[in-house]
Structure 1
């Protein structure tokens, strides 16, 4: 895939995100075509009271895919609403595949909390290579393509560089973003709460003592915070490919790194085999870390610190088994 081809894909995704932005804002503020609450139609998704879908989700996904199909009729398409309503039995291939979340953070959207937006990612050979996240209410447009850097409203990411960005050497110096997820069974929530407790617990009590924990309500804004450099780490088990495909590109192109997020706490894995695995966007487990500058006189130390922090994170959290997205 040439750099020019990637630029073309990125330009198309960016243009489409901007085009559906006004409809997103209308839905958020319940005006225009979404002024009537009966037309808005917030519904439980597949009977899950902790998750919902609106007319805006469906309208934006339909509009985005219609534009993309008119330009790239041979490409594959995976969207949150079409996939959620038709089941997860789609085939994951090496073909160019557009992965779209029309309203990431729908619960935020419904409750007028501005951390919500549109995510458009493109995977080739099953790996995300283009990412666009538009947070219309915050007027933040994040764009990235493999090998070409990441940007917020045209400004290179991360927003801050040395000395404003430090080189944290432990989780106790880090701000962590995560989500509680929409699966509320006792087993899943118990696992999540145990992991978060270990992450926040003081070191003298066996915890990692992360400096602070943030929950914004959406994977897209979480990953944008990491790419900006205002959050150090993101971890979650259970999101879908459309939740973080675009964000993974934006984080890596900002100088950050993304890895498989399957936790190691309590796992029957020998210490010698506890190595970081590359992110598989279809496996629903992700750990991301922001850009970290090198320590003075130590080239490459920033990347080593990134890996060290993710290792500490995975040592503290439990894996939660989830079926992968699609048929691989």
Structure 2
């Protein structure tokens, strides 16, 4: 895979992403009365965006593969990642924000070749923010080079922590244990409701770190590359585990040093939670 090949894909898809942004901006003129209507609206605009992107890419590059939110929910499983060029698309990331006209929402499109992240584009049309990265060439916001805050001190860290995911019964204990440890170790906490934008805020230096567990490939396919290309570090949120794009539980930080400090605090929380779980099981066994 040469730089030229990836640049060609980038140049082809960028106008399509901008066109998709215009479609999302049209969604301002609706009245929603029921929960069903919210999901209908999101699905309609998700599909409109996927239609623009996927149809054009398929026509131009018929051998390329796709992993996308709408496509995956239509067939009820996520395709396996292969060595083929694969476009991983989230038509609207931050849907709960989108339906409330809270402008932290975006289109995210990542490209992998030989299972490696080589390109990422994240576009927030409401704020006119276009984040881009090609592997090895840096990250940019509206064409201007991005750098993380370079923060190395956990006590000065403002962490964007996606607490809404603690709604999930399987994740709740882990989130809350980690939260109770993190909150006393860091300077401040935020929760924004968009994984792709959360990663961009680390890349641009607005946040020092971002964490989210229990996500999907399309939440991380563009943003993780953008953070890394801006000088940040990303790993799985469980200490010692490698980041896995197909099962993204990640922590992204402004520097490797900060990442290691955050992981150490979270390991303490995870160890405490597992110890409590063993005690609980032992007590149940005694009865």
TM-score range, shorter chain: 0.7 to 0.9
Aligned partner of 1:5 in structure 2 is 5
Instruction: Check whether the contact 2:151–2:157 (CA below 8 A) recurs between aligned residues.
Output: no
SS at structure 2 position matched to 1:197: helix
- TM-score, L = length of structure 1: 0.76
- CA offset digits 1:162-220 (Å, max 9, x no partner): xxx46423x2210111213457244422331221111103xxxxxxx211111110101
Question: Could you say what the CA RMSD is over the residues aligned between the two structures, in angstroms?
Answer: 2.4
Match of 2:263 in 1: 311
Task: State the partner residue of 2:39.
Answer: 43
Q: 1:5 to 1:283 in 2, by over 3 A?
A: same
Unaligned runs of 5+ in 2: 274-287
Correspondence for 2:112: 123
Q: What are the Cα deviations for residues 90-109 of structure 1, in whole angstroms up to 9, with x where unaligned?
A: 22211111000000000000
SS of 1:216's partner is: coil
Tell me which residue corresponds to 2:74: 85
Larger helix share, 1 or 2 = 2
1:122-271 paired onto structure 2 within 5 Å: 122-158=111-147, 165=149, 167-169=151-153, 171-182=154-165, 184-201=167-184, 209-262=185-238, 264=239
Q: Tell me the CA shift for residue 112 of structure 1.
A: 0.7
* Cα separation, 2, equivalents of 1:256 and 1:183: 25
CA, structure 1 residues 317+127, in 2 after alignment: closer, same or farther (shift >3 Å)?
Answer: farther
Secondary structure of the structure 2 residue equivalent to 1:54:
helix
CA contact (8 A) 1:192 1:318 kept: no
Shift in CA distance, 93/37, structure 1 to aligned 2, threshold 3 Å? same
The one of 278, 286, 290 equivalent to 2:250 is 286
Query: Does residue 112 of the first structure (1) align with residue 95 of the second (2)?
Result: no
Q: In 2, Cα distance between the equivalents of 1:36 and 1:199?
A: 40
Distance 1:77 1:54 in 2: 18
For residues 218-251 of structure 1, the C-alpha deviation after alignment (integer angstroms, 9 at most, x for no partner) is: 1011001000011111111111100011001111
Any residues of structure 2 matched to 1:6-85 within 5 Å, and which?
Answer: 6-27=6-27, 29-30=28-29, 35=30, 41-43=37-39, 53-85=42-74
Which has the higher mean CA deviation after the structures are superposed, 305-314 or 77-86? 305-314
Deviates further, 223-232 or 9-18: 9-18
Gap regions ≥5 residues in structure 1 = 45-51, 202-208, 265-274, 293-302, 321-328
Contact 1:181 1:238 in 2 (8 A): no
